[in-house]
Structure 1
Amino acid sequence: MTTVSRTDEAGAAPRTAQPRHLIVTVYGLYARADGGWLSVASLIELLAALRVDEPAVRSSISRLKRRGILVARRHGGAAGYELSDDALAILREGDDRIFRRERATLADGWMLAVFSVPETERHKRHILRSQLTRLGFGTAAPGVWIAPAHLHDATTDMLRRFELDSYADLFRGDHLAFGDLAAKVRAWWDLDELELHYREFLDAHTPARRRRGTPQAREAFADYVRVLTDWRRLPYLDPGLPAELLPEDWIGIRAADLFFSLRSRLEESARGYVAGMITG
């Protein structure tokens, strides 16, 4: 797979992004309001601003089509692709997670997920574990998964979408005793690895906030798509854990501040650039 490299103005190490991830970001940001469709020509032009060449765009589109994320459709005689129903559902779920600023608090409580899958359906057990991990659950004990209670709706939707709801039970409650809950959270989630991901995000995107002046529309679009592409996986690795249980001056809070600051600065210009490219 072709990758995209870029060295920032401050001389930071180049970062890479898979073109298919950039394409999903572009669809998620700009295609859904217009029915989820973009022409191939528009995608090629938009991805050029991200230094992705045409062969890489076409190859990535083919992969996304094979994975059931994009569906081929002609519109007004133009070849293009639209988001599948499953992709739309995942993106809607992602909106609640990616653009959520608030963290859970201890008063919100926790959600526990327990499941029982027959040995004859082990593949469903694997899907269930994979999806709970993707949603950001930690493992409190063998067969007992835990997450902040605000993930209830996303978890319920996932279980129904994959027809796994008959194998699982969800509970909501508080931690009453025993032991240090902050230490337990560190055991249930790999905070050291998460800190590394947050640091990579800060190193990659802090220079964009330091640039002076108002960015040009094309630059704003490229920066916004990059920062959102890199950000959108982090709220799944860190499901909004209560700040009271995290290390002091938790790096995830600084990373969130950076993301939302760049979003505020770049979003409007980026949207204007896309509108001009699509209708121009």
Structure 2
Amino acid sequence: MSDSASRALEVLIDDFHSGERIRVWSLVITIFGDAVIPRGGELWLGSLQELMERLRIEPSAVRAAMSRLTADGWLTRLRLGRKSFYRLAEAGEAEFEEAARRIYRPHHSEWSGKWLMLSLSTDTGEGREARRRQLRSAGFGAISPTVFLRPDTMENGRAPALQTGEVLFHSSLDPASDARQMVAQAWQLGEVEAHYSEFIDTFAPLGRALDKGVLSDPLSAMAARSLLIHRFRRMALRDPAFPEELTPEGWRGEAARTLVSSIYRKLAGPSETWLDTCPNSHERPIRKPEFDIAERFGN
């Protein structure tokens, strides 16, 4: 193992524990989405605990997180003797697919110049607040309390199903309008960009260390990969993934995506070696992914 890469990983783990309270269930979601689903979606609890222990997370916290995710319908459990295996529940498949598409997307989307504009119902209350959060998670920005929009691109996926009282328009913007200014305000991009800058500062040392030598210990590589995607995932799901003509000049999201792509490619081989050792419920290694993990970001 590269000494500099190993030191960089320990610093990242220190940073992970020094920040806000760790939401173990959220980290589990990251690991399933990034590493387990491409291999069939099933993981032995013992394998998960081994990885979490490398990240200095206690087994009791892992068990509590798995109980919560199972109770909330995200995961299902299969118990064979004294071993517990977990897999993604059907209800969560669409959410995982949407998240993966936005995390691993190419740098820029192709765009026809069209927009999706959705007008909310005039009803008020908790239902509308939940709908606003749902639309933001689907890449929409708000130009007023009841009007949301997003660029109509292939990468943005399907239009959301309409709820009672909502209206959906396919529209275009007058050329005289300042689209970049509207975008920056509607999506609060200043805050997103600040998080991207912090991400770059945090993970650049690992990137430089991996340029000098690989993180050859498979478990450590998987731990580094999990931290990388967990931190990046939170920003990628808030980033509306604009076409280049709508992206603010000097947008730090591009530098962050370049960095995460480079690090991920270098961690892919050894981290997949660790996953090859994880058993499935038939006491065989979990299956290999059907695509090259190293090329996931479109390298």
TM over 0.5, yes or no? yes
Summarize the alignment of residues 23-172 of structure 1 with structure 2, pairs less than 5 Å apart. 23-75=28-80, 78-104=83-109, 107-116=112-121, 118=123, 122-150=125-153, 153-156=157-160, 159=161, 164-172=162-170
Summarize the alignment of residues 263-278 of structure 1 with structure 2, pairs less than 5 Å apart. 263-278=264-279
Q: Percent identity, aligned pairs only?
A: 28
The residue that corresponds to 2:222 in the other structure is: 221
Q: 1:228 and 1:10, CA in 2 relative to 1: closer, same or farther beyond 3 A?
A: closer
Q: Return the alpha-carbon distance in structure 2 between the equivalents of residues 35 and 11 of structure 1.
A: 32
Q: Return the alpha-carbon distance in structure 2 between the equivalents of residues 209 and 77 of structure 1.
A: 40
Structure 2 gap segments, 5+ residues each? 1-5, 286-299
The residue that corresponds to 1:206 in the other structure is: 204
The residue that corresponds to 2:234 in the other structure is: 233
Q: Return the alpha-carbon distance in structure 2 between the equivalents of residues 57 and 236 of structure 1.
A: 24
Letter in 2 for 1:197: H
Give how far 1:250 is off: 1.2
Q: Return the alpha-carbon distance in structure 2 between the equivalents of residues 81 and 10 of structure 1.
A: 28
Give how far 1:41 is off: 1.6
The more displaced of 103-112 and 190-199 is 103-112
Q: Return the alpha-carbon distance in structure 2 between the equivalents of residues 223 and 274 of structure 1.
A: 14
Letter in 1 for 2:41: G
1:225-272 CA deviation, whole Å, 9 max, x = no partner? Answer: 111111112222111123333332211110010111112111222111
Q: 1:7 and 1:109, CA in 2 relative to 1: closer, same or farther beyond 3 A?
A: farther
Letter in 1 for 2:79: R
SS in 1 for 2:270: helix
Give the conservation status (yes or no) of the 8 Å contact 2:200–2:256.
yes
Give the conservation status (yes or no) of the 8 Å contact 1:115–1:143.
yes
Letter in 1 for 2:57: V
Give how far 1:31 is off: 2.6
Number of aligned residue pairs: give it: 267
SS in 2 for 1:170: strand
SS in 1 for 2:84: strand
Q: 1:167 and 1:97, CA in 2 relative to 1: closer, same or farther beyond 3 A?
A: farther
Length-normalised TM-score, structure 1: 0.84
Give the conservation status (yes or no) of the 8 Å contact 1:139–1:145.
yes
Task: Check if 1:197 corresponds to 2:195.
Answer: yes
Q: Return the alpha-carbon distance in structure 2 between the equivalents of residues 34 and 263 of structure 1.
A: 17
SS in 2 for 1:153: coil
Give the conservation status (yes or no) of the 8 Å contact 1:114–1:145.
yes
| Structure richer in helix, relative to its length | 1
Give the conservation status (yes or no) of the 8 Å contact 2:119–2:147.
yes
Give how far 1:80 is off: 2.6
Q: 1:7 and 1:170, CA in 2 relative to 1: closer, same or farther beyond 3 A?
A: farther
Give how far 1:201 is off: 1.1
Structure 1 gap segments, 5+ residues each? 1-5
The residue that corresponds to 1:3 in the other structure is: none
The residue that corresponds to 2:179 in the other structure is: 181
The more displaced of 199-208 and 109-118 is 109-118
Give the conservation status (yes or no) of the 8 Å contact 1:198–1:252.
yes
Give how far 1:112 is off: 1.1
